[in-house]
Amino acid sequence: MDIPEFVNREKEIREVKAILSGRPNFVYFVYGPINSGKTALIMRVAEELPRDYVIFYVNFRGRDVQTIDDLTRVLFRVKRGKISEETKEFVKEMLKSGAKVLYKLKGIPIPENMFEILFRRVDKVEDIFAYLEEYFGEIVEEGYKPVFILDEMQTIKEVINATGKPVVERLFNFFVRLTKETHLCHCFCATSDCLFIEDVYSNARLEGRAKYLLVDDLGKEEAFRMYEAFGFQDKKLVWDYIGGKIGDMVSLFEEKKRGYREQEALNRMLKDEAGKIEWMLDLVEEGEKIGPDIEEIKNTLRKFKNKEKWLYREIKGKALKFLIQENVLFYNPVEGTVCPQGRLILKAIRELCKDLLK
């Protein structure tokens, strides 16, 4: 038996397609807990769009982006050979090739000479943005609809420009230019780091210019349908341990393939999750990991012993931010709430409360 290819996200798919059916007006943050299926949703929508959409998808996951140089190399895909270096002619040449898959997962095609010009002047971020605006404008002129998708954007939040300011702030102002001002290109930014979203929202002055799309863990009814697809037997037991988190369903499926019974596999997963949290606490306590006071962290975790969700303002502090950044807790910026990243982590925290955190 193979892993189910895609989780049915009809509501979210309809919502994204409705956005794309109109002209670009807002920057959209696609957010949600880790392993909730954000990337899978984005790629499914991209695959189902008509041929007049051109998808530019850049995933920063696993990419070492520390400087403007790194960012430029990730954003662009250099095209070598005898091709036009004029933006208008180059775009025409690219679009003649037809298949939109040319653009998916590979960054933005750019002539080698133009890349060298931009790369030599990476301190001039405005040059890069000016080129991109011209590039997207030419695509629109040719009758196509560009869609720019940046995944795991939180990984570039430390990159600074020549003036010492975060590049991500200027990048989002550029997104506003592409959407709200010129209506040239749809822009989607996916992340599970919602504190990053809040920082960008305030620093880049995105009020009235950005909207949120939540891709959450599945509800019970939909989760049970997925359990059937995975071949899980004791649905109530599985729900108690992992709820509707797709990533954990895949992990359980793999554990069962190795010959473990469901209860045994779930216990192994729980032990592993608790071990990760305990290891993180040990590193902070021993000074090998930079973090707030260890007791403040433990006290924040204890908050979830008998309560699953809190208002952010009720328990805000350095420890809370630390646990959100470590993907132990999930912050929903729309609701202003905080909860564990999934039922398995909630269960792990409560197991630790019996001993380590008691």
pLDDT of 135 strictly over 90 = no
Q: What is the mean pLDDT of residues 244-259?
A: 93
Quick one: pLDDT at residue 171?
Answer: 84
d(CA 75, CA 119): 12
Taken in order 340, 344, 348, 354, the sign of the CA dihedral is positive
List the single range of 42-46, 77-81, 121-125, 246-250 with lowest mean pLDDT.
121-125
* Average pLDDT along the chain: 84
Which of 271 and 46 is assigned the larger pLDDT?
271
* Distance set, CA 222 to CA 69, 101, 192, 245 (Å): 44, 30, 21, 11
Q: What is the predicted pLDDT for the residue at 164?
A: 61
Confidence of residue 105 (pLDDT cuts 50, 70, 90): very low
Rg from Cα positions in the chain: 22
Question: Which residues touch 91 (CB under 8 Å, ≥6 apart)?
Answer: 135, 138, 139, 142
Least confident of 46-50, 92-96, 103-107, 141-145: 103-107
H helical segments located in 182-339: 194-203, 220-230, 235-242, 246-257, 262-285, 294-302, 312-315, 318-325
Q: Please write the tens of the pLDDT for every residue from 275-297.
A: 999 999 999 999 888 889 999 99
Q: Taking the mean position of all CA atoms in its chain, how far away is CA 292? A: 26
For residue range 224-239, what is the model confidence (pLDDT) as tens digits? 999 999 999 999 999 9
Using CA atoms, how far apart are residues 313 and 205, in angstroms rounded to an integer? 22
Average pLDDT value for residue range 262-274: 97
Task: Return the amino acid letter for 123.
Answer: D
State yes or no: pLDDT of 320 exceeds 80. Answer: yes
114, two tokens: 């133009």
Looking at residue 234, its pLDDT comes to 96
Interacting residues of 233 by C-beta distance below 8 A, sequence separation 6+: 262
